[in-house]
Copies of this chain bind each other. A is one copy, B any other.
Amino acid sequence: MAVTFELHPIGRVRSPIQSREQAPKQGDEEAPEAWLEIDPAVAEAARHLRVGEEVVLLTWLDRADRSVLSVRPRGDERRPLTGVFSTRSPDRPNPIGLHRVTVLEIAGGLRFRVSGLEALDGTPILDIKPVLRRARER
């Protein structure tokens, strides 16, 4: 499929996690709090986010290997090679991270402190979406 699309990051993650080796595998596994720094150019899009709100954060996992199609889940050599669409491996053709986090603090309308996030320091932010409160949440 020859067509491509261009992502323009809308901010960056600021986190104490500096490398993949330090990162928990998932956000609910003792991941630290982090700050989301949003680009002033999209401040209008972020102005209704509120403390206490749960959101889905989309990131670009810029240190992932996009050529990987199969992995051993959680890097466990005893587990069989598994197609990446059946895993949450960051290594995949389009390494978009999905993270469910809660907004804990808002500073100056552009900086958002959030709960347990497994993304590395400097990770580009692509989007923020509200969690849907419906029978079938996405």
Q: List 5 A-B contacts (CB under 8 A).
A: A1-B12, A5-B60, A45-B93, A98-B138, A100-B136
Contact with B along A62-93 (1 / 0, CB 8 A): 10000001100000000000111111100011
Contact of A8 (CB < 8 Å), options: B1, B10, B49: B1
A85 in contact with B138 given A5-B7, A7-B4, A7-B6 (CB within 8 Å)? no
Q: Assess whether A87 is in contact with B7, with CB atoms less than 8 Å apart.
A: no
A104 at the interface (CB under 8 A from B): no
Interface positions, chain A 87-138, Cβ under 8 Å from B, are 87-88, 92-94, 96, 98-100, 124, 126-130, 132, 134-138
Tell me the complex Cα distance, A46–B47, Å.
38
Partner among B62, B85, B136 whose Cβ is within 8 Å of the Cβ of A128? B85
Chain A residues bordering chain B, tally (CB within 8 A): 56
Tell me how far the C-beta of A93 lies from the nearest C-beta in chain B, rounded to whole angstroms: 5
